[in-house]
Amino acid sequence: MHDLKMKYKGKKMAPAINAFHTFLYTPDETTHSGSHVRGADDLKRTMNTVIMALVPVLLFSMFNAGYQHYSAINGFPENFSLMEHFITWDNLWIGLIKVLPLLAVSYGVGLLVEFIFAVIKGHEVEEGYLVTGILVPLIVPIDTPLWMLAVAVVFGVVIGKEVFGGTGMNILNPALTIRAFLFFAYPTWMSGDKVWVHEARERSEAILAGASNVDAISGETILGYLAQNNEAAMSAKYSVADMFYGFIPGSVGETPTLLILLGGLFLIFSKIASWRIMLSAVIGSLVMGLMFNGVVEQGWITETSKFYGLMNFDFWKHLIVGGLAFGIVYMATDPVTGAQTNRGKWIYGFLIGFISVMIRVFNPAYPEGVFLAILLMNVFAPTIDHYVIRGNVKRRMKRLQNAVIHPKDSDAQAAELKAETV
Amino acid sequence: MALLTKKDAGLILDPLADNKPITIQVLGICSALAITAELEASIVMSIAVVFVLGIGNVVISLMRNIIPSKIRIIVQLIVVATLVIVVDQVLKAFAYELSKTLGAFVGLIITNCIIMGRFEAFALANGPWKSFLDGIGNALGYGVILIIVGFFRELLGSGTLLGIPVLGDPIMKTGLYATGYENNGFMIIPPAALIVVGIIIWVQRSRNPALVEEN
């Protein structure tokens, strides 16, 4: 590998070779000038930390893919035991054949685009796609066709990132750009009650076509039930513990709130992600949820209102269903697209939580809005930062104007001495 | 003697090559977003703009010495409005269905920035023949982009071209759809036009780096 690197030095393909080299080995270059201090947490390390925080979620999602599939066919087990019903080879097998291809396509296509751009532009391959690549399969429905994912990844990486100048220059979170593209381009594959569980869609199509040897299976998400004011059916099927541990249908990796929470704590303690954004986003969603609960308690809307189901949903449960927890921990905290100033982070996070729950309740077409809320706030993050900085400058200018110039220390001491001696 | 001198030919060809109104002058974006979901509408819109801008430029150019400069915008508006009404009535008489799809956007040709822009920048200062060529050239430059955008949006968004299915039948799953291909709903909504125009600008500028502005 090293010989290859030397051979291609200065050639057109050099960035691609170098990328493989640093992927496998520590770079052998030393610093030539300036500061010789090297931080241990370079971009590669940062990205790897996030990936480590995501691996438990990925593993869980593989088992959950199988669990949801078999439960939808055979009914949910009565006395659920983790080892007996969840961590089984059957479940893992479904996960392996459904989730791994999504992961492979995501990384394969995304890194290919990165390599092409690096070779054209003649810079080193950027690490930016490492995290995006694992996020993407976790936020799409399990049965997303691979070619759709590939198209969306090309779109997301080129239009969402490379046209702005590559990693670190993008306005929008690339993973969410990919999600948004899929959602608007192929809505029938991204929403409804047939896409969240493996085979649900194939089976309903087979039944429409006249097949009689298959049972229809449905995998409505919790938010989906609530949007249809069908809370009774939802709570009969899933308990609060199910929601918290993640044994519910949804996008591949968005369900296990517990593991996401652990991942989030890991990211906070390794100082990779901002706790301010996470905390304020949680507060924001709770505030919005409380307001909707209040509206219901006041009796301002009736049970027949189409918003009743979601408005009546206990405010804190919003955090454990759908993609809110996943979005807050792994998406909103993206250091490139989020707010940079501390006060800006509070505002940015709060609005993400607030708007996510608002879109959930009021969006007639699709009872989830986390990705839209985060993309919206991505766009506003620079504006928030701008006003935070302006405000800071203004405050300090004012302080400067009002400042009293104190006499020098020695003068004051002399005056004190004088007063004492007199 | 050639029909067009080299300079005159430039008037027509420049806006078609490196000075396209939409992608370089960034004029007329609004209509490019609104009506390019179908190729047919794009083509009709282009023809309408060629007609209005070609004749309008000549009329303004003929009157350029007698228009008081204080009220020139009003005079220009009257000229455009007259021509647009003619187009609108012709469409209603001979292509009623199409005039319904285009709807308000035929009327909105009046506010198309390209038209006022060419009146102000060219017709007020040049003779009728040159103005005519300039008008046709710019309107064609506008139309080319419209048709390119309309082509891709209709092909990818609906799987048809000029209303004729070219990729097979999405419901019966024939042709390309048999392999699992699906229409891209994103291409039908107006933001897609912005992205397609953006990609055209990108391609154009990377082929001709002289167009890239310093900033």
Q: Is the pLDDT of residue A341 over 80?
A: yes
The C-alpha atoms of residue A111 and residue A270 are separated, in whole angstroms, by 26
Stretch among A276-280, A345-349, B198-202 having the lowest mean pLDDT: B198-202
Helix (H, G, I), strand (E, B) or coil at A212: coil
Cβ of A147 within 8 Å of Cβ of B180? The answer is yes
Average pLDDT rounded to a whole number, residues A208-225: 64
Domain boundaries, chain B: 21-205
pLDDT score recorded for residue B198: 83
The total of other beta-carbon atoms located within 10 Å of residue B186's CB is 22
Using a CB-CB cut-off of 8 Å, the residues of chain B touching A145 are 180
- pLDDT greater at residue A55 or residue A365: A55
Average pLDDT rounded to a whole number, residues B72-97: 85
The C-alpha atoms of residue A113 and residue A129 are separated, in whole angstroms, by 10
**What residues contact A34, with CB distance under 8 A and at least 6 apart?**
none
- Tokens representing A329 are 């921990």
Q: Tens digits of per-residue pLDDT, A103-130? A: 888 888 888 888 888 888 777 777 778 8
What number is the ipTM of this complex? 0.74
Measured distance between the N- and C-terminal CA atoms of chain A, rounded to whole angstroms: 86
CA of A306 to nearest chain B CA: how many angstroms apart? Answer: 27
CA angle A9, A15, A16 (to 5 degrees): 110
B170 interfaces chain A, CB cutoff of 8 Å: no
Helix (H, G, I), strand (E, B) or coil at B160: strand
Beta strand segments in A224-306, E: none
Q: Is the pLDDT of residue A201 over 80?
A: no
B194 interfaces chain A, CB cutoff of 8 Å: no
Q: Tens digits of per-residue pLDDT, A222-265? A: 777 777 666 666 666 777 777 787 777 778 888 888 888 888 88
Confidence of residue A94 (pLDDT cuts 50, 70, 90): confident
- pLDDT greater at residue A119 or residue A152: A152
- pLDDT greater at residue A217 or residue B133: B133
Amino acid present at B5: T
- pLDDT greater at residue A207 or residue A422: A207
Confidence of residue A34 (pLDDT cuts 50, 70, 90): low
Characterize B14-23 residue by residue with b for buried, 16 or more Cβ atoms within 10 angstroms of its Cβ, and e for exposed: ebbeebbbbb
Using a CB-CB cut-off of 8 Å, the residues of chain A touching B189 are 184
Q: Is the pLDDT of residue A149 over 80?
A: yes
**What residues contact A356, with CB distance under 8 A and at least 6 apart?**
A281, A284, A285, A288, A324, A327, A369, A370, A373, A374
Using a CB-CB cut-off of 8 Å, the residues of chain B touching A116 are none
Average pLDDT rounded to a whole number, residues A404-419: 64
Q: Tens digits of per-residue pLDDT, A381-409? A: 888 989 999 998 999 888 888 877 666 66
Of chain B, the percentage scoring pLDDT greater than 90 comes to: 0
Cβ of A163 within 8 Å of Cβ of B202? The answer is yes
Q: Is the pLDDT of residue B1 over 50?
A: no
Q: Tens digits of per-residue pLDDT, A298-330? A: 777 776 676 777 777 777 788 888 788 888 888
Q: Is the pLDDT of residue A70 over 50?
A: yes
The total of other beta-carbon atoms located within 10 Å of residue B1's CB is 4
Cβ of B195 within 8 Å of Cβ of A159? The answer is yes
B202 interfaces chain A, CB cutoff of 8 Å: yes
Q: Tens digits of per-residue pLDDT, B12-51? A: 666 666 666 666 666 777 777 777 777 888 888 888 888 8
In this prediction the pTM is 0.79
Characterize A104-118 residue by residue with b for buried, 16 or more Cβ atoms within 10 angstroms of its Cβ, and e for exposed: ebbbebbbebbbebb
Q: Which of A127, A233, A141 has the alpha carbon at shortest distance from A189?
A: A141
Cβ of B182 within 8 Å of Cβ of A148? The answer is yes
Q: Which residue of A159, A181, A186 is in closest CB contact with B182? A: A186
Average pLDDT rounded to a whole number, residues B124-135: 83
B178 interfaces chain A, CB cutoff of 8 Å: no
- Tokens representing A27 are 């770079």
**Whole-number Cα distances in Å, B72 to B54, B81, B136, B139:** 18, 14, 22, 21
